[in-house]
Amino acid sequence: MEKQVKKSRSSGGLLVLLVIVLVAAAGYYAYTGYYSKEGMIAKTAAKAYELYSSADKQKDIRLFLGDPDKDGFKQYKAKIFDTKAVLNQVKQAVLLLLQAPPAGYVSFMPQGTALRDVYLDPNNICYVDLSGELSKNSNGGSTGEYMTAYSIVDSICTNFQEIKGVKILIDGKEADSIAGHFRIKDVLKPTE
């Protein structure tokens, strides 16, 4: 009988300890914003550090950003790490598109949009999976959606010749458009 009491007390103590650990973990994640949009953006930006090593050399790429003085694209020369895996280079390029633009440029990416992942199919079509903020925070209009889509497509296809087209996904799913105006359901080919 005494062994059973000791056993139930130790089991009860473990249960209490487990509950305390779970509550503390939940509090930590709530406090740090781990599950907030800001936390998601920070985690997305942190992915860039996993995409290359300090031994990799850098290379120049061209990003298609906006020109504040006129309609259309203005190319921006940026640097990424020249990794062996092309998809890691593509991810670095897309992460740069999602950052605040340098002075003298405009970003077409809706605020809060995060990169979820990038895939390449056997036909060299690149799938870019972006968070729902792409559509939720879109400034809308067919021109705005076109510029958003082709900022991604042209930045990828111009720098990575082996990629033949881009398919944009929102929260892991195909979408007809970004926010109801410009069709992204099909594979998008570069404009050049």
**Higher model confidence: residue 33 or residue 192?**
192
Note the pLDDT tens digit of each residue in 89-107: 999 999 999 999 999 999 9
pLDDT, tens digit, for every residue of 137-163?
Answer: 888 688 889 999 999 999 999 999 999
| Higher-confidence position of 190 and 42 | 190
If you average pLDDT over residues 155-180, what whole number do you get? 95
Taking residues 115-141, report their average pLDDT: 93
45: confidence class by pLDDT, cuts 50, 70, 90: very low
Is the pLDDT at 86 greater than 60? The verdict is yes
pLDDT beyond 90 at 43: no
Task: Compute the distance between CA of residue 134 and CA of residue 148 in angstroms, rounded to an integer.
Answer: 9
Averaged pLDDT of the chain: 83
- Please state the domain extents for the chain: 2-35, 53-174
Q: What is the SS3 string spanning the chain?
A: CHHHHHHHHHHHHHHHHHHHHHHHHHHHHHHHCCCCHHHHHHHHHHHHHHCCCCCCCEEEEEEEEECCCCCCEEEEEEEEECCCCHHHHHHHHHHHHHCCCCCCCECCCCCCCCEEEEEECCCCEEEEEECCHHHHCCCCCHHHHHHHHHHHHHHHHHHCCCCCEEEEEECCEECCECCCCCECCCCECCCC
Share of the chain above pLDDT 90, in %: 62
Q: What is the pLDDT of residues 19-36, one digit of tens each?
A: 575 555 555 544 544 444
